[in-house]
Structure 1
Amino acid sequence: MTTIAVRSSSVDVPTADGVADAYLSHPDDGQAHPGVLLYMNAFGLRPVLEAMADRLAAEGYTVLVPNVFYRLGRAPLVRLPEPPELISTRTDPTLFERLGPMMDSLTAELFARDADAYLRWLADSPAATDGPVGITGYCLGAKLALQTAAARPERVAAAAGFHGGLLATAEPDSPHLLAGLVRAELYFGHADQDESLPVEQIDLLAKALTDAGVRHTCEVYEGAPHGFTQSDTASYRPEADARHWAALLALLKRSL
């Protein structure tokens, strides 16, 4: 198996409301490659996500990982355990008390402006090809992936979301209501032990996508908890993570 060397750096992305700090990784060959946005989970931009971006870059993509909470400051915004200690609400029961207000601050209206900025930055980057982009998102990032695919259908060819929560609620701004705007192929890998996405929401999301004629695959990963791809957390499950990588790379390969 050939290993592609990658180059990474910290970059600043101008937005309508300031500057988002971000991580960029791409093949170190001087060529342009298809762009991919990697949307973080609520724990923020950190080494595990950077390693995931590097792994995608080694597959031939230019990957941008923005700090979506940049309005509140540059990453890191919350103190997390030092490796090898794992992130867990069992050892830190106040974690989501601190993260909740941060997540609530990122409204759909604000994020729509941000998504434009991230896509514009990729379009202007010499490391990215001038063409459609892919997206992968985790937890909170799964919702952001769907929102971006709906907001910029002419730019997003593929979007994947893993262990996303609150994707099909009764709220008027529920992400599943955006299905009719999507032209990308979508993939969702749900965790079957995820209180933030009960089976009723899983079914409602799939129905909305089917009714809208969106090309999609929705799979439930049995025995997987919320956060199963995040190797610095107590929720990490290696087998489910391997399945996620296989599904994600297949989606990007056929779409970009």
Structure 2
Amino acid sequence: MTAVQATTVHTPTADGAADAYFTHPSDGRPHPAVLLYMDAFGVRPQLTAMADRLAANGYTVLVPNVFYREAAAPVVELPEIIDPQSRPEIFEKIGPMMQALTPELAMRDAGAYLDWLQARPEAAGGPVGLTGYCLGAGLALRTAGTYPHRVAAAAGFHGAQLATDAPDSPHRLAEHITAELYFGHADQDHALPEEQIQLLDSTLTEAGVRFRAEVYRGAPHGYTQADTAAHDEQATERHWSELLDLFERALRPAVRD
């Protein structure tokens, strides 16, 4: 892995400017671009460390604060370890932020994030990769379906509400997706029950989307987040292996061509 260079940036949007974390290899060369979508707890040291790990593997990464309309990151004060006892109080604060981020606003912002990222000299030309966690998995899926010609690969881990009865459920964009997808679902996840996993799989299959979805047995919702009590190291490393394999397969050929 290589050394990285990181900074806080502000990406212009139709509603202002989103603060974001931007990291890339420090070798002065352009690299495949990745948009990393945060979980509900927001942009914080845990997510910036994950972004740096991606960058160290040869990617130019943007991590936007999707709640920027409400507050700059960190959007709420968090304990050192987010445990079940602290979650209710935290969600009292971030719940309204999640509700305010409608699919329409989120996808308008997504276009702005992609514009900014793809225009950077640190980013190689061509479509980008997406990865998202919890809330961010749904945003990654929506972005792949809303901007199909700009996304080559998208991954979602311990995603929430990916295939519901709602008319604007993320899975309903499947017919537009051209990217290769990967999902690492959490086992017995209250935020993504078995029936949603099955509906997501069947919808993507019927739409002809290239995808692979796996349930990480024994891994709880939020398993990739080392600053939470849900963290599962083995599942997290499995997620890294699958994510890097996906990006190597889907993003590197575009750069070589």
TM-score normalised by length of structure 2: 0.96
Q: 2: distance between equivalents of 1:70 and 1:148?
A: 18
Per the TM alignment, residue 92 of structure 1 is displaced from its structure 2 partner at its CA by 4.4
Amino acid corresponding to residue 55 of structure 2 in structure 1: A
| The one of 71, 74, 90 aligned to 2:72 | 74
Matched with 2:114 is 119
In the alignment, structure 1 residue 129 sits paired with structure 2 residue 127: no
Structure 2 residue 134 is the aligned partner of structure 1 residue 139: yes
* In structure 2, distance between residues paired with 1:158 and 1:228: 22
Give the equivalent residue in structure 2 for 1:50. 48
1:39-75 per-position Cα deviation (integer Å, ceiling 9, x unaligned): 0000000001000000000110000000000011211
Find the aligned partners of 1:92 and 1:211 in 2 and give their Cα distance: 37
Residue 168 (structure 1) aligns with: 163
Ranges in structure 1 where 5+ consecutive residues have no aligned partner: none
* Number of equivalences: 251
In the TM superposition, what are the counterparts of 1:102-251 in structure 2 within 5 Å? 102-251=97-246
1:3-18 correspondence runs (5 A)? 3-18=1-16
Q: Please report how far the alpha carbon of residue 94 of structure 1 lies from its aligned counterpart in structure 2 after TM superposition.
A: 1.9
After superposing on structure 2, the runs of 4+ consecutive aligned residues of structure 1 that deviate more than 6 Å are none
- Report the CA distance between 1:13 and its aligned residue: 0.2
Which one-letter code corresponds to 2:223 in the other structure? F
Letter in 2 for 1:180: E
Deviation at residue 135 of structure 1 after TM alignment: 0.4
Q: For residues 174-217 of structure 1, give each alpha carbon's deviation from its aligned partner in whole angstroms, at most 9, with x where no partner exists.
A: 11111001000000100013101100000000000000000000
- Offset from partner CA, 1:97-128 (integer Å, 9 cap, x none): 22211111110110111000000001111110
Q: CA deviation at 1:89?
A: 2.7
CA distance in structure 1 between the partners assigned to 2:91 and 2:200 by the alignment: 25
Distance 1:112 1:228 in 2: 26
Matched, 1:99 2:100: no
Amino acid at match of 2:47: L
1:24 aligns with 2:19: no
Conserved in 2, the CA contact under 8 Å of 1:89 and 1:95?
no
Question: Conserved in 2, the CA contact under 8 Å of 1:41 and 1:139?
Answer: yes
How much has 1:251 moved relative to structure 2?
0.2
Change in CA separation of 1:112 and 1:91 when aligned onto 2, cut-off 3 Å:
closer
Distance, in Å, in 1 between the alignment partners of 2:119 and 2:186 is: 36
User: CA 1:137–1:92 in 2, change beyond 3 Å: closer, same or farther?
Assistant: closer
Q: Distance in 2 between matches of 1:169 and 1:92?
A: 24
Task: For structure 2, list consecutive stretches of 5 or more residues without a partner in the other structure.
Answer: 252-257
Counterpart of 2:148 in 1: which secondary structure? coil
Task: Report the TM-score when normalising by structure 1.
Answer: 0.96
| Percent of residue pairs identical | 63
Q: Deviations over 1:121-163 (max 9, x none)?
A: 0111111012110000000000000011011111100000000
